Amino acid sequence: MFVTYALYSAIFDKIYIGYTSDLIDRFHSHNRFANKGYTTKFRPWIVVHVEFFDTKAQAMASEKQLKSRQGRLFIRKQIQILGSYPSADGHRFESCSRY
């Protein structure tokens, strides 16, 4: 099974889109284990969208679509929706802009 996912850094107002066969491990890599790369600069990340697929090709096609203008607009809408609901600990998810 493969997963296409979108991460969001509220502190920096950045989105990262990728795919993997192990979402938990990949998420920890983005937030803790990696020492270099794009995602290390904008920690912490939260998962804002996931899609599950049977094949790598399907996940890659979904990743490509999410990276398009329309896909990024969809992810931004997901972030807005998340910001309107309290989390399990009672706090609201806050999206913010650096500027």
pTM: 0.84
Look at residue 83 in the predicted model and tell me its pLDDT: 81
- 2-83 CATH: 3.40.1440
* Spans of all domains in the chain: 2-83
pLDDT in tens, 41-83: 999 999 999 999 999 999 999 999 999 999 999 999 999 988 8
Q: What is the torsion angle, in degrees rounded to the nearest 10, for the CA atoms of residue 70, residue 74, residue 77 and residue 82?
A: -160
